[in-house]
Amino acid sequence: MTVQLGMFFMPFHHPDRDYATILDEDREAIILADRLGMSEVFVGEHYSSLSERIPSPLIFLATLIAQTRRIRFGTGVINMPAQHPAVVAGQAAQFDHLSRGRFIMGIGPGGLVSDLEMFDSGPAEQRPQMVIESIDTILKLWSQDPPYRIDGKFWKIGIEQSIWPQFKVGTIPRPFQQPHPPIALSLVTPNSSSAVTAGERGWIPVSGNFFHSRYLRGHWERYVEGCEKVGRRPDPSIWRVARCILVTPTDSEADDYLAETGNGMDYYYTFFRHSFAQGRRALFMLKPDADMADEALNVDGIKRALVIAGSPRRVLDQLVALRDQIGPFGTLLATGHDWDRPAMWKRSMELLANEVMPGFARHAAAA
């Protein structure tokens, strides 16, 4: 089985940086990813954070359609509880046409605490239900002609009186890809119930990068469980696995960067060290050793455990070890990070695509 290379952008930057500059930087990174032959890119959605400043991945990605040739655009993710299903249906269909079918519709319940509070998305156990109702509603709108009457638990949609058939007023636009764009579901927590849902529905499972690799295998096992419930054969080529990867010409250059305090990578994991220590109490997901005490967990230890870093040879060895640990998967998503050192991060993308991935693809095919 071949392995493809893509990217996953939260995107995450230091909040003191200029807004227009980081948007240009992220666009440049995706244009470079396309030029390097990467297959797809996912971009996150966050409304109330200066560390993650893209409220609309569709608007952002639309600026890249004409600047790229082949790369597919994924939302990572549209936070379904925060938006009306009819709005998502219209915007997603429009983007799919603009990109001529290069759209992957990533969906999820949202995870940024300030967004959840601002949109009053309800308790944690309710949000997955809202995701399912929302996407089911969207799929109905895309597959039916008016009149529409959808009475859900969370949203009610009706167009029954204001229909002008000769002008198609009252008709919801359908996407370019038929019957609809591929749907992807983000996976974070160990033994994720969302993985079961993805398997049942035939959706793309996308495992996040901000937790230890020992939990990845559980995502695949739960996905297989969902497939088996409906008699679907699980295909590992559909599985996307995101990881933080830094490739440098030498091992020492990567080691020196990871050892620094105050750089972009250090801020990134300082954020997650704080986030996972809050209400969800999920520090165990970051620990090099699952049994270590919370107070013993520092940012340096997190970086060493979660970042695949080094020369092309060492990064290849780590990727082979990852595949041996979790089993086969179809697409490796390298995390897009703050370009605190633009030359280093551009070079990392080039080395990963040109020197690491050919060897990793050969290993995966042989295995």
The pLDDT value recorded for residue 1 is 81
293-304 residue pLDDT tens: 999 999 999 999
The pLDDT value recorded for residue 281 is 77
Q: Quick check: 117 pLDDT over 70?
A: yes
Cα pseudo-dihedral 204, 334, 308, 24, rounded to 10: -150
Confidence of residue 279 (pLDDT cuts 50, 70, 90): low
Please give the DSSP secondary-structure letter assigned to residue 340.
Answer: S
Identify whether the C-beta of residue 333 lies closer than 8 Å to the C-beta of residue 242: yes
Single-letter code of the amino acid located at 293: A
Residues 6+ apart with CB under 8 A from 315: 245, 247, 308, 309, 351, 352, 356
CATH of domain 4-76+182-243+327-351: 3.20.20.30
Query: Can you give the residue ranges of every domain in the chain?
Result: 4-76+182-243+327-351
The pLDDT value recorded for residue 318 is 98
- Dist. CA 226–CA 202, nearest whole Å: 9
For the chain, the straight-line distance linking the first and the last C-alpha, in angstroms and rounded, comes to: 8
192-240 residue pLDDT tens: 999 999 999 999 999 999 999 999 999 999 999 999 999 999 999 999 9
- The rounded mean pLDDT for the chain is 96
Percentage of the chain beyond pLDDT 70 is 99
160-184 residue pLDDT tens: 999 999 999 999 999 999 999 999 9
The pLDDT value recorded for residue 191 is 85
6-40 residue pLDDT tens: 999 999 999 999 999 999 999 999 999 999 999 99
Decide which of 367 and 343 is more confident: 343
- Work out the average pLDDT over 252-272: 97
Q: Quick check: 280 pLDDT over 90?
A: no
52-101 residue pLDDT tens: 999 999 999 999 999 999 999 999 999 999 999 999 999 999 999 999 99
Which two structure tokens, joined as six digits, stand for 79?
Answer: 């936070």
- Work out the average pLDDT over 342-353: 98
Backbone angles phi, psi at 307, to 5 degrees: -95, 130
Instruction: Give the 3-state secondary structure percentages of the chain, helix then strand then coil, rounded to 5.
Output: 45, 15, 40
Identify whether the C-beta of residue 325 lies closer than 8 Å to the C-beta of residue 213: yes
The pLDDT value recorded for residue 211 is 95
- Helices 216-229 and 312-326, packing angle to 10 deg: 40
Residues 6+ apart with CB under 8 A from 92: 58, 78, 103, 105, 138, 175, 181
Instruction: Please tell me the number of Cα atoms within 13 Å of 48 on its side-chain side.
Output: 12
